[in-house]
Amino acid sequence: MKSSISTSRDGEVYYRALKIERAKLDGYVGSLATAAENRMGREERIAFWMNAYNALVLQTVIDHYPIAKRSNDYPAKSIRQIPARSSGCRIAWPDGT
């Protein structure tokens, strides 16, 4: 499964541009549900799940973009500033927060 979503230049993600072109990301995430992951080889399956994870993280970030500082415990624009309960899903950070 290939995607034509361009999220970066020179290694940086441009969240504002990604938010403007949200439909492409949502379309990609929607297409993950119909992917024949069980027919993929090991390497392709690993890439599939890594790409799926990254796309969902991008959705979470742009849902909250620009990220508001809520805590002094994390950098100001960190994904950790996004509340753990987002869109009805419970996110468990590795440190239990």
In a domain, 5, yes or no: no
In a domain, 22, yes or no: yes
Strands 85-86 and 89-90: antiparallel
From first to last of its 97 residues, the chain has per-residue pLDDT tens of 555 555 667 778 888 888 998 999 999 999 999 999 899 999 999 999 999 999 999 999 999 999 999 999 999 988 889 887 655 555 555 565 5
| Total domain count, the chain | 1
Residue 21 to residue 63: CA distance in whole angstroms: 13
Q: Which domain holds residue 81?
A: 12-90
In a domain, 43, yes or no: yes
What is the value of pTM for the model shown?
0.74
In a domain, 2, yes or no: no
Q: Give the DSSP letter string of 31-80.
A: HHTT--GGGS-HHHHHHHHHHHHHHHHHHHHHHSPSPPP--TTS-TT-GG
